[in-house]
Amino acid sequence: MKSLLNLVLFLVLFSLSNILLAQEDNGIFKNGEFIKNSDAFLFADNVNIRETPSTKAKVIANLSIATPVKIISKTNDTLTVNGYNTYWYKISFDKNGSKKTGYVWGGFISVFTTTTTNDSGNNVCFLFTITEYSEKIGFTALLKAVVNGKIVSTVSVKPHDTDQNNGIYSYDIDGKIMSNKGLDNVKKIIVISFLYPACGYSNGDVIVFWNGKNLIYGTESPSVSEAGIFNFSSELIFPTNHEGKPNKVIRKEETVNYDDDGNISSNSMKKIEYIWDGKKLVKQDND
């Protein structure tokens, strides 16, 4: 009876944690779709806005990267580009002082809303989206830094993904901008979060550093749970955090395994330290 109660409690806590995560973020990309009435930015440059959701439709406008748009609705039409399959969306936008509407493929829209920041008088946007899919590699994504309307740096990111092979990405994606957290030669840290609210699927964050000129890939903090079997979680500790160390990023990992009765059979902790040398993260050899 006790083991059954432990299993039920685990399932409840796991479900609640996913609900809280979903409530706390302010992302506009849920279950692989943009949310209706969301404010977004264009990820691509020189984007053709169409009269209908088709590459053969009349072009009614051509918009530059980081142009603000509003998601009016998702269509039933999809398009596959570089293996990545997603929907067309009806959007509204400003053009020459007037409000217009048209259609754009979802792969040309950034999944972030919290992308604009002021950096020494410059307007900086961090734009992110899925860009490619292949059965061998899975999904690929890009993060771009756009300063005063021009792309100045791009970095590739491997998103958490499912075992699907149809090129449809069905996770929630969110992003936020943090301070440098005490790291030298870093202006901002971009945190990209991936969530799939189901047992057995990898979730977690990826961090990328911005030094004012370049984006620099950092590391990730994955997590995955299988109810009543195991739970793996990790968190990143920065210099300004409790337990933080100067110019280091520490990944603290915990693995909990359960026996057939739902009781904890093992619990292990591990810390991986990365040294920030001012240009990149270097994994420290603790052996």
Mean pLDDT, range 238-266, rounded to an integer: 94
For residue 41, with 0-12 CB atoms within 10 Å meaning exposed, 13-18 middle and 19 or more buried, which class applies? buried
Strand extents, DSSP E, 148-227: 150-157, 172-178, 188-195, 203-210, 215-226
Q: Tell me the pLDDT tens digit for each residue of 108-117.
A: 999 987 667 7
Report yes or no on 142 lying in a domain. yes
Mean pLDDT of the chain: 88
Based on the structure, what is the number of domains in the chain? 1
From the list 87, 92, 127, the residue with the least C-alpha distance to 105 is 87
Confidence band (pLDDT; 50, 70, 90) for 26? low
Helix (H, G, I), strand (E, B) or coil at 175: strand
Average pLDDT over residues 166-184: 94
Residue 239 is predicted with a pLDDT of 97
pLDDT for position 122: 86
What is the pLDDT averaged over residues 155-181? 89
CA 157 to chain centre: 9
pLDDT at 30 over 90: yes
Rounded to an integer, the average pLDDT of 214-233 is 93
- Asked whether residue 151 is domain-assigned, the answer is yes
> Mean pLDDT across the stretch 172-192?
95
A 10 A CB-CB count for 112 gives: 26
> Is residue 188, in this structure, part of any structural domain at all?
yes
Write down the pLDDT at residue 258. Answer: 93
CA 268, 270, 276 angle in degrees (round to 5)? Answer: 170
Residue 207 is part of which domain span? Answer: 2-30+110-283
Residue 226 has pLDDT above 60, yes or no: yes
**Which pLDDT value is given to residue 58?**
98
The predicted-structure confidence for 9-24, as pLDDT tens digits, reads as follows 333 333 333 433 333 3
Q: Is pLDDT of 7 > 50?
A: no
Average pLDDT of the segment spanning 258-280: 93
User: Residue 115 falls within a domain, yes or no?
Assistant: yes
Across the range 175-200, mean pLDDT stands at 94
Q: What stretches of 16-97 adopt beta strand conformation (E)?
A: 29-30, 33-34, 39-41, 47-50, 59-63, 68-81, 84-95
Mean pLDDT value across residues 36-57: 97
**Is 200 inside a domain boundary?**
yes
Number of C-beta neighbours around residue 155 at 10 A: 19
Per DSSP, what are the bridge partners of residue 72?
none
Q: Is 80 a domain residue?
A: no
Close Cβ partners of 247 (under 8 Å, ≥ 6 residues apart):
182, 183, 184, 239, 275, 276, 277, 278
Of the two residues 135 and 3, the one the predictor is more confident about is 135
pLDDT of residue 120: 78
Answer yes or no: is 132 within a domain. Answer: yes
Query: For residue 286, what pLDDT is reported?
Result: 63
Residue 70 lies in a domain: no
Name the band, by pLDDT with cuts 50, 70 and 90, for residue 164: low
